């Protein structure tokens, strides 16, 4: 509004100055040329400036009222948002507690059905608990049920999900065995190696069982009768060691299929 008033005032001043130098052209609305005088110019544009001023003054309260209304609206919106955030914070602990309670109920119901060999109901409850919160216990239980049904791929699937959540030794061992039983030896040994490096005894035993030491021949050597060896293969070999007892004794080395 202030900008508009200043624009009108500035325009009136320009017209006033112009009228002082060229009144006949400035007072264009007078049809009678004799009435186109500087006095008329000054009077006309003076009253125009006065009128603009009163219009501006009259508009100030309205503009202030609008600004105040905007300020009040912003403050109200801010208070409502703050109240909403506080309400969410208050509700959050209650929601978390309700979820924990529901999770516990699903696990208990699942265990109850599991120990009664009602595996179908057990799996339903364990699946419900997973929807509430990802938990390795339910994944492991479902995997066990699938292993009893000899569903190897499903067993691996659920044990893998449990493995993502935890580094529990029992789950890793179970996953390694599931991989091995499904013919996935590299994956199995990868899991076992991780635990073996942590000093897990069962993992070390499985490492030797699934990945035993093997022996292969890398070459041959001459064995002298006194027990020493010689690289010679012709006459004169072992001449100072009681002669040759074995011209082609194999040289063995031990290795594992997966290191």
Position 56 scores a pLDDT of 58
Position 30 scores a pLDDT of 56
Please, what's the b/e burial string for 181-205 (b: 16 or more CB within 10 A of its CB; e: otherwise)?
eeeeeebbbebbbebbeeebeebee
Helix pair angle (38-115, 2-21), 10° resolution: 160
Give this prediction's pTM. Answer: 0.58
Contact yes or no for 45/16 (Cβ under 8 A): yes
Mean of the per-residue pLDDT values of the chain: 81
* Below-70 pLDDT ranges, the chain: 1-49, 51-73, 75-95
């Amino acid at each position: 509004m202030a900008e508009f008033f200043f624009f009108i005032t500035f325009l009136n001043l320009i017209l006033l100055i112009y009228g002082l130098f060229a009144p006949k052209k400035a007072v264009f609305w007078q049809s009678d040329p004799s009435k186109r005088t500087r006095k008329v110019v000054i009077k006309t544009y003076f009253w125009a400036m006065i009128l603009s001023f009163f219009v501006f003054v009259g508009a100030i309260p309205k503009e202030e009222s609008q600004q105040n209304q905007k300020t009040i609206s912003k403050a109200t919106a801010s208070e409502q948002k703050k109240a909403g955030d506080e309400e969410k914070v208050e509700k959050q602990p209650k929601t978390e507690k309700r979820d924990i309670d529901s999770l516990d109920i699903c696990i208990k119901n699942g265990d109850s059905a599991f120990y009664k060999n009602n595996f179908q109901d057990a799996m339903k409850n364990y699946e419900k608990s997973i929807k509430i919160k990802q938990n390795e216990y339910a994944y492991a239980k479902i995997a066990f049920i699938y292993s009893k049904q000899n569903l190897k791929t499903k067993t691996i699937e659920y044990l893998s999900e449990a493995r993502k959540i935890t580094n529990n030794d029992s789950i890793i061992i179970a996953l390694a065995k599931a991989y091995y039983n499904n013919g996935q030896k590299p994956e199995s040994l990868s899991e076992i190696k991780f635990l073996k490096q942590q000093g897990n005894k069962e993992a070390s035993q499985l490492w030797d069982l699934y990945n035993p030491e093997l022996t292969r021949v890398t070459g041959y050597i001459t064995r002298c009768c006194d027990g020493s060896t010689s690289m010679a293969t012709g006459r004169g070999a072992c001449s100072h060691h009681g002669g040759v007892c074995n011209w082609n004794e194999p040289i063995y080395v031990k290795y594992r299929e997966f290191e």
